[in-house]
Chain A
């Protein structure tokens, strides 16, 4: 099990699906952000698994995983500051209350 590429790809796929489910289900901004982070983590597992099993140069996959981690940090910083700004300006962080740009 531990030396089969498909095991890790299925783990990653299922985790991505859980994150996607969370983003679609929740209406709380922070909870949606958690879903996005889960999806990014699934991508990292994918990259690391391919780096081990099918890359000519295994370091490349790990470097890509590190880039994903860096971008996730930037995304979380901006996302959380937006959450705080939304909370400050209207006292709620539910997506249902944000409808100015709805058509």
Chain B
């Protein structure tokens, strides 16, 4: 049963990821990205991390994808320039994109990771909250500072742009 669910989620994830990379219009890429995010949140759920799955949906799909849709609507030129897909552009990307997983998966299947017995209980929000506010207090605060700096920086960069003098 879980295998079937995982299989469906994998198909969803990779169909979406392929759409997000291969299609030529950026808006279609974003739709594929959203599809693959749904699959990824499902995989997190299968792994028993319900809070992470919800946060993935909320932040990636609800925040980042929507922000990207706005950015695309504000920045796509009316006549979308066709990206040339010549062989000398596709070949290096294909080489790296196929060579990297080939090496990694060969290494992975060659050895094995030490696994501890899997506990079946779900790890609730309570445990994560306790960990965030005790053990990981300092990184948690540092991330909040980073987010503040990123927001201020984003506003500053997006607002204050000079027109190019030579047009």
State how many angstroms separate the Cβ of B56 from the closest Cβ of chain A: 6
Which residues of the other chain, A, contact B37 by a CB distance below 8 angstroms?
A: 41
A residues contacting the other copy or chain, number (CB 8 A): 77
A89 to B100, CA, bound (A): 36
Determine whether the beta carbon of B90 is less than 8 Å from that of A25.
Answer: yes
Contacting residues of chain B (42-81) with chain A, CB-CB under 8 angstroms: 43-44, 46-49, 51-52, 55-56, 59-60, 63-64, 67-68, 70-72, 74-77, 81
Determine whether the beta carbon of B150 is less than 8 Å from that of A74.
Answer: yes
State how many angstroms separate the Cβ of B80 from the closest Cβ of chain A: 9
25 contacts between A and B (CB under 8 A): A11-B43, A14-B14, A15-B40, A24-B92, A24-B96, A26-B83, A31-B21, A31-B29, A37-B64, A38-B36, A41-B40, A45-B43, A51-B47, A58-B119, A58-B123, A59-B131, A63-B128, A65-B49, A70-B146, A71-B146, A80-B71, A85-B161, A88-B161, A92-B77, A94-B81
**Which 8 A-B residue pairings sit nearest by Cβ, starting from the closest?**
A21-B97, A22-B21, A24-B93, A74-B150, A81-B154, A81-B158, A87-B75, A17-B101
Taking Cβ atoms with an 8 Å cutoff, the residues of B that contact A are: 2-3, 5-7, 10, 13-14, 17-18, 20-21, 26, 29-30, 33, 36-37, 40, 43-44, 46-49, 51-52, 55-56, 59-60, 63-64, 67-68, 70-72, 74-77, 81, 83, 89-90, 92-94, 96-98, 100-101, 104-105, 108-109, 113-116, 118-119, 123, 127-128, 131-132, 135-136, 139, 143, 146-147, 149-151, 153-155, 157-158, 161-164
